[in-house]
Amino acid sequence: MKPEQFQAALAQMGIDLDATQMAQFDQYYHYLIEVNQHLNLTRITAEEDVYLKHFYDSIMGAFAEPKLKELSLRLCDIGAGAGFPSLPLKIAFPQLKVTIVDSLNKRIDFLRELVGRLGLTEVELVHARAEDFSNKQSDYREQFDLVTARAVARLSVLSELCLPAVKVGGEFLAYKAAAAAEELQDAQKAITTLGGKVSTTMQLVLPTKPEPEQRNLILINKVAATPKKYPRRPGLPSKKPLK
């Protein structure tokens, strides 16, 4: 997907990017590739692949949750890595108030420099383990309208890492690949235990060659407060997922 194809594909979905936003995506791509030479941020480096599999893929979250397009949501991205999906969403929808959480300080340093270069405002960067970020002592607990996670862990684990940060009445948006149905079935008890209820599942495809790649967006409503004992201490959610 060339940059002009990226712009056109989003326009077909009602998302219009102006010249300034397209310049920001161009800067994002070039700085990502520059830093990736000495910091492992992504295996995907070809320009057309980055625009499709990182930028477009990230913005697809707005297909499942149209509120992203217009409302000044307080969004938190858990385990954002190189900034996906939160920074492409922020570029496309500048009114969003974004908090990015990552456990590796070198990635946070990269994101801080990137945010400055792109001239983005209302972006907070937090160096923390997800389990510590929204534990019962945290000021961030149950504070966000929307929490996102992409390519971080299985849904049963992700739910414990993300739902504690979602405010009651807010939402958790999980970006998953082809195994979403199996993961969703496996995560039902965890989602319910943590105060969530699945509201929407959307299956999409990325127009990759030779075969389109399946993508799944799972939107979970926060219908009740998360019990104070969750999330458990760092490492435990992945070692012993809630069943």
Residue 51 CA from chain centroid, whole number = 16
The answer to whether 191 and 158 have CB atoms below 8 angstroms apart is no
Q: In this structure, what are the phi and psi dihedrals at residue 151, rounded to the nearest 5 degrees?
A: 55, 45
**Residue 131 is assigned to a ligand binding site:** yes
**Residue 179 is assigned to a ligand binding site:** no
**CA atoms 14, 217, 116, 74: torsion sign:** positive
Length in residues, the chain: 243
The answer to whether 25 and 48 have CB atoms below 8 angstroms apart is no
**Residue 122 is assigned to a ligand binding site:** no
For 199, the 3-state DSSP assignment is: strand
Residues that constitute the known binding site: 79, 84, 130-131, 150
Residues that constitute the known binding site for S-adenosyl-L-methionine: 79, 84, 130-131, 150
